[in-house]
Amino acid sequence: MLIADGSSLRIVVDPERRRPVARVYRVLAIGAGVTAAWAALWFGGALVGGLTGVDPLGLGRFALLALGGVGMVCAALIAALAVWSAGVVHHVERRFPLGATLLAVGPAGVEGPAGLVPYEALQRVAVRWHGVRLRPTLTLGDVAGREVGRAIGRRTGLDAHRSVLLLPHGAPEVALHAGPFADDREFARVVDALRFELGRRGMRLDADKG
């Protein structure tokens, strides 16, 4: 969310834009968890049937063992997806607390989660702004995965990199990510303000293609 705060522009974490990111992965975690539990019960029953000789499906003991074993592996993979998705939700909520400043540009300097960096302390400033690069598709599964990824990106606002990179004198590079909390129009306003402030000091804003 872009806020005009006096003489500065500030991108902050707002609930309206954090909610879709958390919701997508929360739904994925719940769906994968339910599916994994169902698969574990069903295929676990097949595995137990193969071990005990109880064969209500009439498949034979070896077939039940094979079906149960493969199914339990699939259930474990789906459960891992559920755990990973739940971890993403936790990570998003911890990394992006509501109201936190992600990127601010004003007369005194550039501000991020770690605080203000004065323009005089900066050796180089660059902007990274491009769509998310996806690997080439080789199979139908790759195509399907890419389309799912694009749909999630559009829904959550994670379909583009919008970052400002700061290189202070004698210090490591600092990356300030707007994430899904600023659209292209809002990020453009911040970039224009940053370019103006740098130009006043004889500095330039580079384009980073990383």
Spatial contact of 117 and 110, defined as CB atoms under 8 Å apart: yes
pTM above 0.85, yes or no: no
Tell me the residue range of the domain where 86 lies.
Answer: 17-95
* Domain boundary pick from 44, 73, 95: 95
Number of domains within the chain: 2
Please say which residue of 70, 95, 120 terminates a domain.
Answer: 95
Query: Mean of the pLDDT values across residues 152-163?
Result: 66
pLDDT digits (tens, 9 = 90+) for 46-87: 888 888 877 777 777 888 888 889 999 999 999 999 999 999
Residue type, 86: A
Asked if the structure places residue 79 within a domain, the reply is: yes
Does 104 lie in the same domain as 90?
no
What's the token pair of residue 68?
Answer: 């149960």
Inside any domain, residue 9: no
Do 56 and 131 lie in one domain? The reply is: no
In this structure, the answer to whether residues 133 and 195 fall within a common structural domain is yes
Asked if 62 and 113 sit in the same domain, the reply is no
CA distance 163 to 125: 11
Distance between CA atoms of 102 and 114, rounded to whole angstroms? Answer: 9
Mean pLDDT of the chain: 85
Lowest mean pLDDT among 47-61, 115-129, 158-172: 47-61
Examine the fold and report which residue of 64, 95, 126 is the final residue of a domain before the chain moves on: 95
Q: Which residues contact 180 (CB under 8 A, 6 or more apart)?
A: 17, 18, 20, 21, 156, 157, 158
